[in-house]
Structure 1
Amino acid sequence: MSGVLGTEAYQNYFGHPASYRQGGITCSMPAGSLVGALASSYIADRLSRKTAIQIASVIWIIGSILQAASNGVALLCVGRVVAGFCVGIASSIVPVYQAEIAPKEIRGRVVSLQQWAITWGILIQYFIQYGASFVDGGAKNPNQGTAAFRIPWGIQMIPAFILLVGMFFLPRSPRWLASKDHWEEAIQVLGHLHGGGDINHPKVLAEYQEIEEALRFEREEAVSSYRALVEPRMLKRVVLGMSIQMWSQLCGMNIMMYYIVYIMKGAGIGNELLTSSIQYIINVALTLPAILFLDKWGRRPSMLLGSFGMMSFLLISGGLQAGYGMPNPDKTDKSISWVVRDHQSVSKGIVACSYLFVATFATTWGPTSWTYPSEIFPSKIRAKAVSLATASNWTWNCALAFAVPPLLWSINWKMYMIFAAFNGAAFIHMFLTAPETKGKTLEEMDDVFDSGRPAWEAAPKGSRLDELQADIEKGNLKISHPLQQRSVPSETVEPKI
């Protein structure tokens, strides 16, 4: 929405939406995403993670067509709800799919690539919107045509089509295949992913053994996946995953994405569309260090340092606006009610804090909030638990998208203090409840969370998978799998572990 909010075409065609009306338009997409997230686990568990992503792509194309063809607020909202349904499915299942195919050593990096791709999508789409704003005399021309918003809303079909076709060339998740007892295909996928095509590579055999043991244990428990979600030992993980996604919204980042034009306008910046674009570049550039180093410095430090940094920049920005701002003297402007005028250094300080806030989120909570929930659950409930976590994300996203325009109008700078307090609460919560997960396999998360160690106490280094691989390489352990048994049954024995 941010790239079209400042155009006369959008404002005139949709009746100058502001406050609750604009909030309703914006929140219609996360509302659809909430429903999509809740439905995602059924599709992904039944049809596979890969197929779920392809279904989401088709839904997005339909939503984009409806938005581009909008003849009023009603159809625009319907199109955004439909497109949001796709986002809910994709945002739940893509990190699950990535976590299930990635080696443990780079799992954080691989899942973080989703966040980096999101930042690239935001940046590219914003500049498409910015370019389209020059149509028919520019964004300030009162007679600007509807192409200014129809072009960017139509172009967004292209990446969905690329994703739909591209997924045909990617494998199904080996853990999903194993859960459906398609062991031969699962082993072949593991061989391609982790053994260069060799299904008897020690790492492939070790991973196969880990997955097989975990699935056997889950089946012996004979507890339904829905009931398992609310068992005490698992419920705390479900709550933690949902909380991380909640805090990723309550930190205030999406406010900067949705309504940065309003913030820059209130700070007294001349060309708010151009100035706003800089933060999208920062978002892309500063996500890269997190991708490179998340598996080295860990998930826990990222969340703690991120919460503290974002809280600090929000407090500074809110304080500057409180000390130097005033009610908007332009009574015809219905978008903002508080402005900073004739204090260029203060305006620059507010803009700088906005940029630093975005930089902090991009290097910390942005990638980690998707990585952590995707890796902490056992296979049996992973899709369902991640869908609940993602539903939490979209619930708060929807609420904030709707509430922030009237909040900006009614309480102005105090809104920054509210979100600063949320970041302070997130810092305390993560310090007390979020243990480190780097370097552990998905099948070892039970050890991480059920060990009885407090979250702030470091877990023993090393991984059971590494020990298994070392034993296989030394010849101390032989692992048999269906393909191996079919080809050379006399050379393999069942492991005793």
Structure 2
Amino acid sequence: MGVINTGPRATNVYFICAFAAIGGALFGFDISSMSGVLGTMAYKEYFGYPVSYRQGAITASMPAGSLVGSLFSSFLADRYSRKVALQIACVLWILGSILMTAAQNVPMLCIGRVICGLCVGIASSVVPIYQSEIAPKEIRGRVVSLQQWAITWGILIQFFIQFGAAQVGGGPNDPNQPTSAFRIPWGVQMVPAFILLVGLFFFPYSPRWLASKDRWDEALHVLADLHGKGDCNHPKVLAQYQEIEQALRVEREQTTTSWGALVQPRMLKRVALGMSIQMWSQLCGMNIMMYYIVYIMATAKIASPLATASIQYVINVVMTLPAIIFIDKWGRRYSLILGSFGMMTWLFISGALQQYYGQPNTDDVKTPDTSDITWVVLNNKPVSSAIVACSYLFVATFATTWGPVSWTYPSEIFPSKVRAKAVALSTASNWFWNMVLAFAVPPLLWNISYKMYYIFAAFNAAAFVHMTLMAPETKGYTLEEMDEVFDSGLPAWKRLKKTSRLEELERAIEAGQVKVAVPTREPPPHPAAPTSAPRLTVEHPTPERTTGAPTL
């Protein structure tokens, strides 16, 4: 058990989770780090006009690093804590951004993007875990959804930074445009990582991580700060403390290792579900809309591709807000089902419009904005407007459904013993498919154009069926109650009806039916000294006196 930190420390759950979500903003900066510079002559001239597989390799280098980072995240999160893992990620982001900003050639750019990717892989795995372990069940979905909102803000902010930087020199179409058009936005993206790195020193460790390391006094004090206004004897604090202690005790009685537990049949189903949700969040086509939106808007040939794309980024930010507010009311399951159906619809319509009203982009119709694409819609403003509208509706659908839920759901369905590793695998699935698509989409756009929309529409149809059959509702349950939800034997479309153990224990403490006395003791002489969990003394108002951890 470590010595309790008595220095200044944030205690408001919303503020803690919102600040941690800056790690999600780095993900957003990643998504938008290429889209705003793809259309500038400075980028094209300096890096040799990368298109198709060459551009795919540049874009895919960051998700490749993120795949490695997400797999490594569980080691950092379990060994050094969720908080320290995020600080390590920030250092990697700053180093990678320095290399990107100073890039002299494509290999140096790719190395910088890989290092930044390591950060994003770690942060995208650890931030939802940290948020879900900090927050009470009543607002868990809301605060974990802040991760997605931060992603959308990162996308928007970086895009507008790039949009402004693209105007240096003679503008994005100037053949002699200076390299500051892409170096400025890649340098500025270091700022949020520095803010997160320094700010986390004043934030608490996850109480569940502290408990897993037998730092029970610290865990109790963090719970008191978060949920009892500093009162360690608050009924809600004692009830949550006991819930965590009981769950950890059961896990430690099992002889299976945490990695071995992942492949046991009862857990493998959850691991597969978490990985599938992250896979579908990529195969739905959303990040492709973000990475290569300037190509898509250029295909429609309506207004400036950069200006038209910027509206999509604003929609992404604004439409995520309703999901944050209502996710703990309308739940996760229906968001996944309805979101897949909606995205499938918009992609099928957009693909059909481009198929029947578009034409090959031959040399006699090419313009500077459309030189990198092979299919355009010419002289048909209603159809072009409909294509752009479908893109906007697609983004709005994702932002209100899959965007926040794809991060919330995997972070809450696993028990403490395997949570970091299982979420790491789920996030690794996200980054594997992100990497594949980042590399594959440029040649897809180049070679099959509108048919790509049909492919992603089919993926959404598959996700619709999968979520309908396999994704149970998880709202309203504590992290420690997820075993009952998934082991109940009920089909996914039937909700488990049960009373909350946590609420029952809290009511019993408030009613005086269970009296809890927390023992006070001095911290051990050395932070590494092992201790056992401080057992809570329970006094029942009966002639017999019982001691031990409170149970229901």
Whole-angstrom CA distance in 2 between matches of 1:457 and 1:6: 49
User: Which structure 2 residues correspond to residues 401-480 of structure 1 after superposition, within 5 A?
Assistant: 401-460=438-497, 462-480=499-517
CA contact (8 A) 2:235 2:510 kept: yes
After alignment, is 399-408 or 334-343 more displaced? 334-343
Whole-angstrom CA distance in 2 between matches of 1:50 and 1:108: 20
1:356 to 368, 376, 393: 393
CA contact (8 A) 1:18 1:334 kept: no
1:226 counterpart residue number = 259
1:339 to 376, 387, 395: 376
Using the size of structure 1 for normalisation, the TM-score is: 0.98
Which protein is richer in helix relative to its size?
A: 1
Whole-angstrom CA distance in 1 between matches of 2:489 and 2:534: 43
**Secondary structure at 1:234 match in 2:** helix
1:17 aligns with 2:50: yes
> Amino acid of the residue matched to residue 111 of structure 1?
V
2:344 to 290, 307, 311: 311
CA contact (8 A) 1:478 1:493 kept: no
CA contact (8 A) 2:518 2:536 kept: no
1:386 aligns with 2:423: yes
CA contact (8 A) 1:313 1:354 kept: yes
Q: CA shift at 1:465, angstroms?
A: 1.1
2:530 counterpart residue number = none
**Secondary structure at 1:380 match in 2:** coil
User: Which structure 2 residues correspond to residues 58-77 of structure 1 after superposition, within 5 A?
Assistant: 58-77=91-110
% identical equivalent positions: 70
CA contact (8 A) 2:299 2:377 kept: yes
Structure 1 490/132 Cα, relative in aligned 2: closer, same or farther at 3 Å? closer
Q: Deviations over 1:66-117 (max 9, x none)?
A: 0000001000000000000000000000000000000100000000001101
Whole-angstrom CA distance in 2 between matches of 1:273 and 1:99: 36
Whole-angstrom CA distance in 1 between matches of 2:518 and 2:151: 39
Using the size of structure 2 for normalisation, the TM-score is: 0.88
Q: Deviations over 1:344-394 (max 9, x none)?
A: 000000000000000000000000000000000000000000000000000
Q: CA shift at 1:486, angstroms?
A: 8.9
**Secondary structure at 1:5 match in 2:** coil
Q: CA shift at 1:475, angstroms?
A: 1.4
1:170 to 203, 206, 219: 203
Q: Which runs of 4+ in 1 moved over 6 A?
A: 484-492
Whole-angstrom CA distance in 2 between matches of 1:487 and 1:204: 15
1:143 to 176, 194, 212: 176
CA contact (8 A) 1:183 1:482 kept: no
Q: CA shift at 1:270, angstroms?
A: 2.7
CA contact (8 A) 1:261 1:272 kept: yes
Whole-angstrom CA distance in 2 between matches of 1:411 and 1:462: 53
Structure 1 181/488 Cα, relative in aligned 2: closer, same or farther at 3 Å? closer
1:300 counterpart residue number = 333
Q: CA shift at 1:150, angstroms?
A: 0.1
**Secondary structure at 2:185 match in 1:** helix
CA contact (8 A) 2:519 2:536 kept: no
Q: Deviations over 1:282-340 (max 9, x none)?
A: 00000000000000000001000100000000000001001100000237765210100
Q: Deviations over 1:198-230 (max 9, x none)?
A: 111111111011101100000011211010010
Whole-angstrom CA distance in 1 between matches of 2:538 and 2:437: 63
2:542 counterpart residue number = none
Whole-angstrom CA distance in 1 between matches of 2:312 and 2:547: 58
1:209 aligns with 2:234: no
CA contact (8 A) 2:517 2:536 kept: no
Gaps of 5+ in 1: none
Whole-angstrom CA distance in 2 between matches of 1:479 and 1:384: 34
**Secondary structure at 1:379 match in 2:** coil
Whole-angstrom CA distance in 2 between matches of 1:271 and 1:361: 24
Structure 1 241/489 Cα, relative in aligned 2: closer, same or farther at 3 Å? closer
Q: CA shift at 1:458, angstroms?
A: 1.7
Structure 1 407/200 Cα, relative in aligned 2: closer, same or farther at 3 Å? same
> Amino acid of the residue matched to residue 547 of structure 2?
V
> Amino acid of the residue matched to residue 451 of structure 2?
K
CA contact (8 A) 1:479 1:493 kept: no
Q: Deviations over 1:162-211 (max 9, x none)?
A: 00011111100000000000000000000001111111111111101110
2:134 counterpart residue number = 101
Whole-angstrom CA distance in 1 between matches of 2:290 and 2:263: 34
> Amino acid of the residue matched to residue 461 of structure 2?
G
Whole-angstrom CA distance in 2 between matches of 1:207 and 1:222: 25
User: Which structure 2 residues correspond to residues 48-197 of structure 1 after superposition, within 5 A?
Assistant: 48-197=81-230
Whole-angstrom CA distance in 1 between matches of 2:318 and 2:143: 17
Structure 1 61/487 Cα, relative in aligned 2: closer, same or farther at 3 Å? same
Count of residue pairs the alignment pairs up:
497
> Amino acid of the residue matched to residue 345 of structure 1?
P
Q: CA shift at 1:401, angstroms?
A: 0.3
2:23 counterpart residue number = none
Q: CA shift at 1:462, angstroms?
A: 4.0
**Secondary structure at 2:138 match in 1:** helix
Q: CA shift at 1:468, angstroms?
A: 1.3
Whole-angstrom CA distance in 2 between matches of 1:41 and 1:479: 35
Whole-angstrom CA distance in 2 between matches of 1:487 and 1:139: 66
1:493 aligns with 2:526: no
CA contact (8 A) 1:177 1:183 kept: yes
> Amino acid of the residue matched to residue 67 of structure 1?
M
Whole-angstrom CA distance in 1 between matches of 2:384 and 2:216: 61
Q: CA shift at 1:488, angstroms?
A: 11
2:76 counterpart residue number = 43
Gaps of 5+ in 2: 1-33, 522-532, 540-545
CA contact (8 A) 1:34 1:88 kept: yes
**Secondary structure at 1:97 match in 2:** helix
CA contact (8 A) 1:28 1:80 kept: yes
Q: CA shift at 1:483, angstroms?
A: 3.7
Whole-angstrom CA distance in 2 between matches of 1:236 and 1:487: 34
1:400 aligns with 2:437: yes
